[in-house]
Amino acid sequence: MKLEMYCNECQHEWREDYENANCYECPNCHSTSVYRSRYITCQCGATVYCDGFTNECDGCGTLYNAFGQMLAPPSQWDDEDRYECFGPQDYDEEF
């Protein structure tokens, strides 16, 4: 997992490895007013931001949890979990 960082002061953007990002200070202006967003690279090559309970790849539709772990298709989920995540929908179609 990696982090995409954005400085609220100077609007500088940069990316860091999640494991190495122990300091959230802008390298440009040294402000600590920094927005952080976790992301992974999907197996299809698209960037997936892991900011929610479930995070869908725009490229292939694969679902990931907030920690970047791939999830099973919703058709395999418990009915209550599907409802909690997606609301009332028709699940006769395969995701």
Average confidence (pLDDT) over 65-89: 80
Contact 58, 72 (CB under 8 A): no
Q: Which tokens sit at 43? A: 């197996």
Residue of 59, 61, 63 whose CA lies nearest to 50: 63
- Per residue in 17-65, pLDDT (tens digit) is 877 665 678 989 999 999 888 999 999 999 999 998 889 999 999 999 9
Task: Give 79's pLDDT tier (boundaries 50, 70, 90).
Answer: confident
54: which 2 tokens?
Answer: 């479930």
pTM attached to this predicted model = 0.71
> What pLDDT was estimated at residue 81?
72
Is 89 within 8 Å of 81 (Cβ atoms)? no
Q: Identify the pLDDT of residue 9.
A: 95
